C-alpha cells in the first residue's frame, strides 16, 4: 500500500487507556493512510476483534481491567496469527511474559513469523514506523 491509496487501506486497532497517546497515534497513523480505530479497554478490543478484522493491533501492556497479555491471549483465540505491537514503559517485563502468549503448538511459527513485537516507551514515531514496515514488508509508511 502506498501512502494515500484508499482502495487498499490497512486497518489498525489501538488499545490504550492513555487517551492522549492513543489519539496522537491515531492521528499519526491516519495521516499515513491507515484506517484506525481506538478503544481504551481490552474488553472493547476483544468485542471489535470478534466483529471485524484488523491488519495490526497496537496495545499497551499495562492497563486496568485486563492487561496486554490477557488481551493478546483472548485475541489469539479469535485470530491466532494476529499481528500485534505491544507498547510498554517496562520492556524488561516483556521477555518473560512473551512465553505466556504462545501455545506450544504455534510457538515456532509465531517466533519465526514475528507476529508480536515490543515497542518500549517512550518511543519516536520512526521506531513505530519501523515495526509497522517490518509487518507489512515496507509498504504503507513513509518517514
pTM: 0.81
* Residues 40, 4: Cα–Cα separation, whole Å: 27
CATH code (residue 32): 3.40.50.2300
Query: The domain containing residue 125 runs over which residues?
Result: 6-135
pLDDT digits (tens, 9 = 90+) for 87-124: 988 765 555 445 555 454 444 444 445 688 888 889 99
pLDDT digits (tens, 9 = 90+) for 47-93: 999 999 999 999 998 898 898 888 988 998 899 889 999 898 876 55
Please check whether residue 17 lies inside any domain of the structure: yes
* Residues 52, 82: Cα–Cα separation, whole Å: 12
Looking at the structure of the chain, the number of domains it has is 1
* Residues 130, 41: Cα–Cα separation, whole Å: 26
CA dihedral 15, 78, 91, 38 (to 10 degrees): -10
- Contact between 41 and 69 under an 8 Å Cβ cutoff? The reply is no
Amino acid at each position: 500500500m502506498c501512502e494515500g491509496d484508499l482502495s487498499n487501506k490497512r486497518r489498525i486497532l489501538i488499545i490504550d487507556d492513555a487517551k492522549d497517546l492513543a489519539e496522537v497515534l491515531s492521528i499519526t497513523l491516519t495521516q499515513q493512510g491507515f484506517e484506525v480505530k481506538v478503544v481504551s479497554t481490552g474488553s472493547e478490543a476483544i468485542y471489535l476483534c470478534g466483529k471485524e478484522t484488523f491488519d495490526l493491533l497496537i496495545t499497551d501492556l499495562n492497563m486496568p481491567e485486563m492487561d496486554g497479555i490477557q488481551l493478546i491471549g483472548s485475541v489469539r483465540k479469535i485470530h491466532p496469527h494476529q499481528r500485534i505491537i505491544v507498547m510498554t514503559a517496562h520492556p524488561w517485563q516483556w521477555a518473560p511474559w512473551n512465553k505466556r502468549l504462545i501455545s506450544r503448538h504455534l510457538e515456532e511459527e509465531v517466533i519465526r513469523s514475528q507476529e508480536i513485537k515490543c515497542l518500549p516507551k517512550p518511543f519516536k514515531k520512526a521506531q513505530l514506523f519501523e515495526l509497522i514496515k517490518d509487518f507489512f514488508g515496507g509498504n504503507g509508511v513513509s518517514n
